[in-house]
Amino acid sequence: MHDIEPHWRWKAEYDAATDERSPFYGRVYDEFRFHNKVYNYFIHPQWDSFGSSTLYAKILFVEYDAGYAILELIGEWNDCVYNDIMYLKREIIDDLSHYGIDKYIAICENVLNFHGDDDSYYEEWYEDVRDSDGWICFVNTLEHVEREMSETHLYNYAHFGEAYNGINWRPHKPKQFFQAVNALVEGRIHSLPAGF
């Protein structure tokens, strides 16, 4: 896991460490010392810790005027034992919501397991965004992660599943990626165009 870096190709357009409104503003990264772990496995030092002991994030892009954020996650999402959704909601989402972000794409291809529990923080997150026609979308979830999310009834609060999996998002600019996911969420298209 130590060689899985967060996506870096958009860094020239957005860097959470230099964004004064970001919860990670001012963070300094050491490229040579690995200290964050998922259980016994070190992860790349570019991932951001936000309180969870098994789930880490990177805010890849925020567009305040359009009200959206793209995050990438890695590790084990464990609400059952560690209440990871509470940390995600309180330490990242609440800060972004304060500045008008109401559309969230969470890239989950590096989320290796999901263990659901109470859905109250998901419900709160959903209520925060729905009045402004916002939404939450989990992209590229692994099959067993998607299954557990479904069993926890997260489809009541977030978009995920077949239409949002297998998306080839890396070659695209963040605005193109957002527009494609937004079109899916709003039902204007039922599958992504060629190239995604």
Per residue in 109-159, pLDDT tens?
A: 999 999 999 999 999 999 999 999 999 999 999 999 999 999 999 999 999
Per residue, the 3-state secondary structure of the chain, as one string, reads CCCCCCCCCCCCCCCHHHCCCCCCCCCCCCCCCCCCEECCEECCCCCECCCCCCEEEEEEEEECCCCEEEEEEEEEEEHHHHCHHHHHHHHHHHHHHHCCCCEEEEEEEEEEEEECCCCHHHHHHHHHHHCCCCEEEEECCCHHHHHHHHHCCHHHCCECCHHHCCCCCCCCCHHHHHHHHHHHHCCCCCCCCCCC
Domain architecture of the chain: domains with CATH: 16-185 (3.30.750.24)
pLDDT at position 99 over 90: yes
pTM: 0.96
- pLDDT tier, 106 (very low <50, low <70, confident <90, very high otherwise): very high
Tell me the per-residue pLDDT of 24-78, one tens digit each, with 9 for 90 and over.
999 999 877 888 888 888 999 999 999 999 999 999 999 999 999 999 999 999 9
